Amino acid sequence: MTAENGPALLSVLRDQRQRIIDFLHDLTVLESPSSSADSLRLASGALATHFEDIDYHTIRAGSLHLYARPRRRIRRQPIQLLLGHYDTVWPLGTLHDMPFEVDENIIRGPGVFDMKGGLAQIVFALEALQTLGLEPPLTPVVFINADEEIGSRTSSRYIQMLALHAQRAYIMEPSLGPEGKLKTRRKGIGRYTVTVFGKAAHAGLDPTGGASAILELSFQIQQLFALNDIERGISVNVGTIDGGVRPNVIAPNSKAVIDVRVATAEDAKHIDDAIRNLTPKTPGVRIHTEGGIGRPALEHTPRNHALLQMAQRLGASIGLDIDEGMAGGGSDGNTTSLYTATLDGLGPVGDGAHARHEFLDIDKTIERTALLALLIQAGLDSHGIGK
């Protein structure tokens, strides 16, 4: 059992407090919004240097994503996946009015919580294991993508491939709430566009000659909102609508864009079927639906629960009381959970993801780095998950 290494790992990491802060500073001032390829290249280059400093070989995947593995490794040894992203929601120039700041334990800045702090945890957890001469029983491989905040459009195929071969995946997204809960459930996320095609006519000269797409869309919007079931974790929101050509023309077209959140794969199918089978109420109109569930739900599977229990046992060895919670947003953990045991929310303790007050607590985050190191060092049980 690796728990006996907990105090030593925590001590090593606390000694690196200033280096961790410096890492965060250097990565944060390299602003890296998802939309700026040039900025992303600079940030990924800095990250690659940090991994090379701990003797990891780095490879660019799809030009902007970063894959890292130990230079010296046992071939054909099973792998474990450490997963994060370095893109942020903050546009270039945010540092001017939201600067990197250190106020005792609190560190502020765009992206420090979501999730550059989690990237620091990966680097320093791996380094701490090396410092103590601890060899993980599964080879730790790292994948850091550049498009998580916009749906992992180009990185998902790499994540799926790695998850298929990994015994487990640790997701370095921020923890949940001031208690730092791990995220063992996440809602699946869908996006749909419902377009109604009607028939144009002059609204004054021929008011019965057309078929209003806007009128029909108003009926369908009510049907869509009726799909909400908060107790089951289902939310269906018509976020934008558009339609018509002129006030004096019966609308020949209209469109609604819908956001869907679901807690289970079963609910995802139910909602998907309902949206794809919307039935027109207005004679002469036609409905066309595009889209679907882009991120499946991260569910509380037995193998994911086994990882949680391992984290709770290991956390206790360094004085952490680990709890779990559900997040409404999705992450790449939604994807890895389809293929391997997954534990999400292992990143910083703090608050303000995507918000102006974004911050992390450095001392608590160092504790979580020690927890990550213990998880990396953990062996496998008879089911190949963790012990």
For 290-345, how does the pLDDT look when each residue is reduced to its tens digit (9 = 90+)?
999 989 999 999 999 999 999 999 999 999 999 999 998 899 999 999 999 999 99
* Domains of the chain: residue spans and CATH: 2-186+298-377 (3.40.630.10), 188-295 (3.30.70.360)
pLDDT recorded at residue 179: 93
Q: What is the pLDDT of residue 114?
A: 97
pTM given for the model: 0.90
Q: Which pLDDT does position 386 carry in this prediction? A: 65
Do residues 241 and 212 lie in contact, with contact meaning Cβ atoms separated by under 8 Å? no
Q: What is the pLDDT of residues 79-89, one digit of tens each?
A: 999 999 999 99
Q: At 384, is the pLDDT very low, low, confident or very high (cuts 50, 70, 90)?
A: low
Q: Is 52's pLDDT higher than 70?
A: yes
Where is 73: in which H helix or E strand?
none
Give CA separation, 274 vs 46, 192, 283, in Å. Answer: 47, 12, 20
Query: Which tokens hold the place of 84?
Result: 């994060």
CA distances for 268 relative to 238, 273, 276, angstroms: 17, 9, 12
Strands in 12-128 per DSSP E: 56-61, 65-70, 79-85, 101-103, 106-108
What is the rounded (10 degree) CA torsion for 327, 332, 335, 341?
-80
Give the pLDDT of residue 383. Answer: 57
Whether 173 has a pLDDT exceeding 80, the answer reads yes
CA pair distance 353, 97, nearest whole angstrom: 17
* Integer Cα distance of 21 and 107 in angstroms: 8
Sequence-distant (6+) residues with CB within 8 A of 176 are 182, 183, 325, 327, 345
3-state secondary structure of 340: coil
**Model pLDDT for residues 144-158, shown as the tens digit of each residue:** 999 999 999 999 999
